[in-house]
Structure 1
Amino acid sequence: MIISLPDDLKLFIDEQVSQRGYSSSSEYVQELIRKDHDRQHLRNALSAGAESAPTVAVTDDYFGSLRTRVRNSRG
């Protein structure tokens, strides 16, 4: 894949590579894409959660009950 950038963005990327310890501009751009991908995944998960039906509140009692069920399932 070939990406064209204006000189000011090329300079910015070169500075980031140098200052942040990336080995190449490709590594820096790959990291940006991974972070954007992760943000989109999180945004989708949060949206799905917000649109889902309400469930039981997660409290200390909930976690206590969950721990008890896990312990009992171990035999």
Structure 2
Amino acid sequence: MSAPTLSRADHLAHEAGSYVRAIPASKLPRKVLESFPAGAPRGQWPAESFAAEQRRQGVPARVVMDLDSDSFLVIVEVAS
């Protein structure tokens, strides 16, 4: 039995799916607005709530996990 022949579209899809993408590091420095321990009670998301309040006030805050300190950080990227 001969090997199946891939169409051009299948070949491109295979290449795209096989490519290992590196996540680029942000070029902007980050400012930590607040830190919250990762052990919040079940069903409570204090870091997300704080970030949402900041966004309502026009601050482009987002939450990231700091694995070294086991905490959630609310950050903004600032132009230097």
State the TM-score bracket (shorter-chain normalisation): 0.3 to 0.5
- Which protein has greater RCO, CA pairs closer than 8 Å, 6+ apart? 2
Normalized against structure 2, the TM-score is what? Answer: 0.35
Q: Which structure shows the bigger proportion of residues in helix conformation?
A: 1
User: Larger Cα Rg: Structure 1 or Structure 2?
Assistant: 1
Q: Which structure shows the bigger proportion of residues in strand conformation?
A: 2
Normalized against structure 1, the TM-score is what? Answer: 0.36
